[in-house]
Amino acid sequence: MAFKRRARAIRADHPHHEPHTPSHPLERLIFFSDAVFAIAITLLIIEIQPPDLPRGASVHDQLQALVNLAPHFLGFFISFGVIGAFWVGHHRAFSFAHHWSPKLVFPNMLLLCAIAFMPFSTSYMNANAWQLVPTAFYAAVLLITSLLNIWLVHRATAPGVADEKSDARLIIRTRSRGWAVATGAALALVIAFVSPVWSQPSLSTIPLWLRLYGRIADRRADAMFAPEGT
């Protein structure tokens, strides 16, 4: 009996080791996802071809060649930020997840597929900056990615997967973040049809949506969990 109690005490610190369940499936899913995120984010750079200048090129020509790459650099930084933000969101959502569920596999795989697609849409956008179709394509891929992200975050923080001791308020707030990114992507898609040049800059409204939706989530949580004694 003492043996059993002790084993349980230890298990509490290793929440993924559930009794009668194969060990580690959740950690392996997270691990695989991290690797895909890391590869996609690092592959972004190999799409940029360095200029190959003739031996005696003047400093002016050398600088000009670098300046010509500016949209590529900008595209790299934007997509690095985008993939990085999705990774942070994945990290945040799965920090609640303590129990394995096979239901996580499919939405996670679809999200990773969308993330692995980002180097293409980035490179396509960079090679044809500010044209209608590539700009709309980039925003559309981002919108699909953010919707898949919402789906996955929902499953990773759902009852049965999330740690029972998780703060329900934090879960509501975390879920609201996905909608903020989706709103920014939808805005960028609409603007692409009006004025492609302003499509990517409109992604910079995402922090505003994050704050707005965060407040709404807090209020909703306040209503749901009225403080004790009121």
Q: Interaction with its own copies in 87-106: which residues (CB under 8 A)?
A: 87-88, 91, 94-96, 98, 105
- Whether 93 contacts 149, CB under 8 Å: no
Crossing angle for the helix pair 70-94 and 59-68, nearest 10 degrees?
40
CB of 48 to its own copies, least distance (A): 6
**Segment contacting its own copies (CB under 8 A): 56-64, 141-149, 197-205, 214-222?**
56-64
Interface map 9-38 toward its own copies (x if CB under 8 A): xxxxxxx-x--x-xxxx--xxxxx-xxxxx
Q: What are the DSSP calls for 186-226, one per residue?
A: HHHHHHHHH-GGGTTGGGGGHHHHHHHHHHHHHHHHHHHTP
Between 60 and 230, name the residue whose CB sits nearer to its own copies.
60
Tell which one of 46, 223, 227, 229 touches its own copies (CB under 8 A). Answer: 46
Interaction of residue 120 with its own copies, rule CB under 8 A: yes
Interaction of residue 164 with its own copies, rule CB under 8 A: no
Interaction of residue 43 with its own copies, rule CB under 8 A: yes
Residues ≥6 apart with Cβ < 8 Å to 149: 86, 89, 90, 111, 178, 181, 182
Interface map 121-160 toward its own copies (x if CB under 8 A): --xx--xx--xxxx--x-----------------------
CB of 22 to its own copies, least distance (A): 3
Contacting its own copies within 191-220 (CB under 8 A): none
Between 59 and 223, name the residue whose CB sits nearer to its own copies.
59
CB of 220 to its own copies, least distance (A): 21
Tell me which residue of 26, 146, 179 sits closest to 96, measured CA to CA.
26
For 19-104, where are the alpha helices, taking DSSP H only? 25-43, 59-68, 70-94
Give strand ranges (E) for 44-186.
Answer: none
Residue 97 β-bridge partners: 162
- Is residue 77 exposed (0-12), middle (13-18) or buried (19+ Cβ within 10 Å)? exposed
By rule CB under 8 A, what count of residues binds its own copies?
76
φ, ψ (nearest 5 deg) of residue 142: -65, -40
- Whether 32 contacts 94, CB under 8 Å: no
Q: How many CB atoms lie within 10 A of CB 63?
A: 11
Interaction of residue 70 with its own copies, rule CB under 8 A: no
**Segment contacting its own copies (CB under 8 A): 107-115, 147-155, 197-205, 206-214?**
107-115
**Segment contacting its own copies (CB under 8 A): 39-47, 145-153, 175-183, 184-192?**
39-47
Interaction of residue 48 with its own copies, rule CB under 8 A: yes
Between 56 and 227, name the residue whose CB sits nearer to its own copies.
56
